[in-house]
Amino acid sequence: MKIAIGNDHAGPDYKIAIVAFLQSKGHEIINKGTDTFNSVDYPDFAHLVASDVEKKRADFGILICGSGNGIAISANKHKDIRAAVCWTKEIAGLARQHNDANIISIPARFTSIQQAIEMVDTFLNTNFEGGRHAVRVNKISCI
């Protein structure tokens, strides 16, 4: 699987750990995030990851910022992107099962690195249930 990952200054250490985990599972990673803790603007990285998912250059995306919100809001401006802020693996699973989320957004200031890895693992290994959820997902886009 090909996965795009992006982060702002709140998440370089999270990205490093998540990338190592994903590469150990054989996934190809597209790094769109910063590698330093110097202040940067999260929309710059959100748009890079969302574009890769939107244009099918990546199967899924992972975004990391302090709250997970700003980076997800930015990504959700793209057509057919459903970025979900997740703070537990159960929410990550439901984001895939019920919302067909294609990007997980992780709040680095409110989760541990281990929790983030568990959320990513659950997110990538959970299928969309379709059915009644597909009807709802098809009503999301205004673009």
- Residues with catalytic annotation? 65, 98
Q: Nearest-CA neighbor of 72 among 98, 41, 104, 40?
A: 104
Select from 73, 141, 71, 85 the least CA-distant residue to 116.
85
**DSSP-assigned beta bridge partners for residue 106:** 64
Rounded CA-CA distance 125/65 in Å is: 23
Query: What CA–CA distance (Å, rounded) separates 51 from 121?
Result: 22
Task: Please say whether the beta carbons of 85 and 107 come within 8 A.
Answer: yes
Q: Determine the length of the chain.
A: 143
Q: Under a CB-based contact definition with an 8 Å cutoff, are residues 62 and 4 in contact?
A: yes
